[in-house]
Amino acid sequence: MVTLAADPFAFDFEPRKTALVIIDMQRDFVEPGGFGASLGNDVTPLQAIIPACKAVLDAWRAVGALVVHTREAHRPDLADCPPAKRERGKPALRIGDAGPMGRILIAGEAGNQIVPDLAPTGAEIVIDKPGKGAFWATPLHEMLRAAGITHLVFMGVTTEVCVQTSMREANDRGYDSLLLEDCTESYFPQFKLAAMAMIRAQGAIVGWTATSGQFLHALARH
């Protein structure tokens, strides 16, 4: 059992019953020319978390525990993209349009690939999800249950959109979830802070937060 000093109180987990879930660290969100940039955002703050994510991923791989990567991805025919999602806002490029890294948010395109530093190995689970949450319209819950997983450690982008939605979905399915504070980022710093506060409020109503340093320290003592 690993006991981690976390907020709002200690987060205890068995690594063999815990999955590291890395949300949407794909080029669409962290590189210029992708979906995030097409929405008018500066993507550079998101790139800054890659080294911290890599350190946690390397440590978790050394433990030999389960890794899940997600990508926000739609089918090339957009059959899994509600028109409301495609038409929302006034993006420079809409989902499915041709951009500098291929078609925006479409499975198989260059922009849909996870950034090289965090690229999945063949043994790791990769979930393509059509929504913001990792559980909706995906086999993730069944795969985690089959693997005996009860606890989830989250990293990725963006904190208040796909990460928070996925943590809320996980919470309603009975998982205990931890978010690594310096391994997640938003295009809006105030939203990151607010999302983390909402997650750990009311006695961990959605989950816990801790820094990657606290997590790595606890894992090393395990």
The values of phi and psi at residue 23, to 5°, are -90, 115
Which residues lie below 8 Å from residue 115, measured CB to CB, with a gap of 6+? 25, 26, 27, 30, 31, 50
Q: How far is the CB of 72 from ligand TIU (least distance, A)?
A: 5
**Residue 39 or residue 147: which is nearer to ligand TIU going by CB?**
39
CA-to-CA dists, residue 52 to 25, 55, 71, 216, angstroms: 13, 5, 19, 10
Give the footprint of ligand TIU on this chain (CB under 6 A).
24, 29, 39, 72, 132, 157-158, 161-162, 187
Q: How far is the CB of 89 from ligand TIU (least distance, A)?
A: 9
H helix or E strand, kind and range, residue 157 = strand 151-157
Q: Which residues are catalytic?
A: 24, 129, 162
**Residue 24 or residue 176: which is nearer to ligand TIU going by CB?**
24
Asked if 207 and 197 count as a contact pair (C-beta separation under 8 A), the reply is no
Q: How far is the CB of 145 from ligand TIU (least distance, A)?
A: 24
**Residue 24 or residue 181: which is nearer to ligand TIU going by CB?**
24
Q: How far is the CB of 177 from ligand TIU (least distance, A)?
A: 16
**Residue 64 or residue 82: which is nearer to ligand TIU going by CB?**
82
Asked if 29 and 37 count as a contact pair (C-beta separation under 8 A), the reply is no
Q: Among all residues, whose Cβ is closest to ligand TIU?
A: 162
User: How many C-alpha atoms does 167 have within 13 Å on its Cβ side?
Assistant: 31
